[in-house]
Amino acid sequence: MFKKTPLHALLCTAWATSSALSGSAHAAAGDPVLTVPDGQTMQIAQTTALSKLVLGAGASLTAPSGYSLTLTVDGVGRAPVAGRAYRGDVVLSVTENINVSYTSSGPGTAPQELQHVFRTGVYVNDGAYVPGKSVAAIVRQGTVGDQLADQVVIRSLEEKFNGLIVDGASTYTIRQPDIRLIGNGGNDFAGFGAAIVSKGTSNVTVDKARIYTKGVVRTAVFAGGSSTMTVKNSHIEAYGGTLPADYEWNVATGKMMEAPWMLGITGTNRATNLVGSATANYINSTIKAQAWGALSTDDTTKVRLNVRNSTVELVESGYGSYSIGDSLNTFSGTTFKVPDMALIMANGPASATFKDGSVVQSGRFGVMMHSNTGGVLTIQDSTFTTASTTIQCKSSSPSIVIDNATLVPGNGLLLQAVVNDDPYGASLGMPSSGSTVKAVVRNSTLTGDVVNGNTVAGSVSLTLRGSSLTGAVTEAVTTHATASDGTELTFDHPELYKLVGEYVHHYGATGKGMSVKLMESSTWVVAKTSYLSSLKLDASSSLRAPEGRTLTLTVNGKVTPVRAGQHYTGAIVLTVV
pLDDT at 456: 80
Q: Are strands 228-232 and 473-480 parallel, antiparallel or unpaired?
A: unpaired
Quick check: 29 and 17 in contact, CB under 8 A? yes
Q: Which long-range contacts (CB under 8 A, 24 or more apart) does 523-527 make?
A: 523/464, 523/467, 523/468, 523/469, 524/464, 524/468, 524/469, 524/470, 524/473, 525/468, 525/469, 525/470, 525/471, 526/472, 526/551, 526/574, 526/576, 527/470, 527/471, 527/472, 527/576
Please report the pLDDT score of residue 434 as a whole number.
79
The predicted structure's pLDDT at residue 31: 59
Kindly report, residue by residue over 478-518, the tens digit of the pLDDT.
999 999 999 999 999 999 999 999 999 999 999 889 999 99
Rg (CA), the chain: 28
**CB-based contact 37:59 (threshold 8 Å):** yes
Report helix, strand and coil shares of the chain as percent, to nearest 5. 5, 55, 40
Burial class (CB in 10 A: 0-12, 13-18, 19+), 29: exposed
Per-position pLDDT tens, the chain of length 577: 443 333 333 333 333 333 344 333 333 344 599 999 999 999 999 999 999 999 999 999 999 999 999 999 999 999 999 999 999 999 999 999 999 999 999 987 889 999 999 999 999 999 999 999 999 999 999 999 999 999 999 999 999 999 999 999 999 999 999 999 999 999 999 999 999 999 999 999 999 999 999 999 999 999 999 999 999 999 999 999 999 999 999 999 999 999 999 999 999 999 999 999 999 999 999 999 999 999 999 999 999 999 999 999 999 999 999 999 999 999 999 999 999 999 999 999 999 999 999 999 999 999 999 999 999 999 999 999 999 999 999 999 999 999 999 999 999 999 999 999 999 988 887 767 778 999 999 999 999 999 999 978 889 999 999 999 999 999 999 999 999 999 999 999 999 999 999 999 999 999 889 999 999 999 999 999 999 999 999 999 999 999 999 999 999 999 999 999 999 999 999 999 9
What pLDDT score does 15 carry?
Answer: 31
pLDDT value at position 13? 33
Helices (H) and strands (E) in the chain, counts: 1, 54
| Strands, E assignment, 65-160 | 67-73, 76-78, 85-96, 98-106, 109-125, 128-129, 139-144, 148-156
DSSP codes joined into one string, 476-519 = EEEEE---TT-----TT-GGGGGGTT-EEEEE---SS-EEEEEE
The per-residue pLDDT for range 402-434, each reduced to its tens digit, is 999 999 999 999 999 999 999 998 888 776 777
For the chain, the straight-line distance linking the first and the last C-alpha, in angstroms and rounded, comes to 79
Instruction: Give the rounded distance of the alpha carbon of 19 from its chain centre.
Output: 48
Rounded Cα gap, residues 71 and 83, in angstroms: 15
Q: What is the pLDDT of residue 2?
A: 44
DSSP one-letter code for 565: T
